[in-house]
Structure 1
């Protein structure tokens, strides 16, 4: 989502890049200008279906009532692409669950991330912990496009509207609100690989804040 505490901004540029998108990501991806929060979906349109998230021993992910993630375009008519979209959304939710404390051990992060994306996600979560911050508000993910690279690899690009997402101090509950700018919109370029259990794990991720293709 958007708006982390200013404490996190500097670290975010380097680690967040490795984190969320890379963080999400993978091998050398980076994010440009991260001052927003990425990652969850509390039930907006296009959230993964219950059958998708509860099958195959998948961890159940919950988010705080004050944090909402909406994922648009989750049904393409192609079952494989839909699975990629669903697991990518769960990955975003998993990161936010770890940050907000609904998954304090970060079990879902390891389920939906691998490689550099996993390292980035763990670093990202630690940054919030060190800053005593959490997430609140709303994030919307849209223009999600899957390109299959074979039976076990795919690329997924999407935009994020983080204009209503903020960081919040855990002790004081003070919300860090900042003006909406072009940087409230982020473009993500990710890679997902299907593991032996049939889970599409995010392995690489790169984000570009203020990207022209994501502006309203």
Structure 2
């Protein structure tokens, strides 16, 4: 497995998002009884960072030195959109942190996600653990867009990914598994971001859709 290529379907996103957007009640809390809060600071990023007031309570989402995550995002002028985009980025970092740690129950991704989005990352980590792989190389994210949904309580974040220079390495042998860049290298992400009622400055991913062979992401 030279790339992280697990995808979700548009039907899954549309169905789950529709339920969320039409649900009664307010608050926008995406937490569940098994959400885990970590401690420590997050990794640095070239895009919008998490809100300072919550920094001390945020989990470690750093990644190994042989893995570089590039987020070429323009910071939205809207404060809410900027926070949602920053935590969408933290969600991606947390996934890689869990994969590198080989821990399907890593607290990082659980802090930044709920519902289907949490299950998605858990399945990703489990796949890498089962295969005996760890991520290396450079993974690029770009062309981010943010849209307000449901009366301003939720934000839809979309962005592209190029995995052309992202590889996996066999943990036991140290062998790097490579693949030439092609259309399979390009993915489109859609994330439904929901603010936490207990920590309003924190945004969590409730639903994620990842589609492969995204021609619109190929320059």
TM-score, normalization by structure 2: 0.77
Q: Which residue of 2 aligns with 1:139?
A: 139
Report if the CA contact (8 A) 2:43-2:61 is conserved. Answer: no
The change in CA–CA distance for 1:50 and 1:153 in structure 2 (over 3 A counts) is closer
Give how far 1:57 is off.
1.0
> Is the counterpart of residue 72 in structure 1 residue 72 in structure 2?
yes
The change in CA–CA distance for 1:24 and 1:100 in structure 2 (over 3 A counts) is farther
Give how far 1:73 is off.
2.0
CA-to-partner distance for each residue in 1:21-80, whole Å, 9 max, x for gaps?
99999839xxxxxxxxxxxx965532x436559526111221100011111224121111
CA-to-partner distance for each residue in 1:127-167, whole Å, 9 max, x for gaps?
11111111001111111000011332111110001110011
Q: Which residue, 182, 201, 204 being the options, matches 1:201?
A: 204
Task: Give ranges in structure 1 of 5+ residues lacking alignment.
Answer: 29-40
Higher relative contact order (CA 8 A, sep 6+): 1
> Is the counterpart of residue 17 in structure 1 residue 8 in structure 2?
yes
CA-to-partner distance for each residue in 1:107-145, whole Å, 9 max, x for gaps?
011100100111111111111111111100111111100
Q: 1:53 and 1:130 mapped to 2: Cα distance? A: 38
Q: Which residue of 1 aligns with 2:86?
A: 86
Moved over 4 A (4+): 21-26, 41-44, 50-54, 102-105
Q: Which residue of 1 aligns with 2:218?
A: 215
Q: For the aligned residues, what is the CA RMSD? A: 3.0
Q: 1:103 and 1:165 mapped to 2: Cα distance? A: 20
Q: Which has the larger Rg? A: 2
Report if the CA contact (8 A) 2:142-2:159 is conserved. Answer: yes
Task: Give ranges in structure 2 of 5+ residues lacking alignment.
Answer: 18-41
Q: Which residue of 2 aligns with 1:130?
A: 130
The change in CA–CA distance for 1:168 and 1:26 in structure 2 (over 3 A counts) is farther
Give the aligned length.
Answer: 192
Q: Please list, as runs of the form range in 1=range in 2, the aligned pairs for 1:114-193 lying within 5 A after superposition.
A: 114-149=114-149, 150-193=151-194
TM-score, normalization by structure 1: 0.78
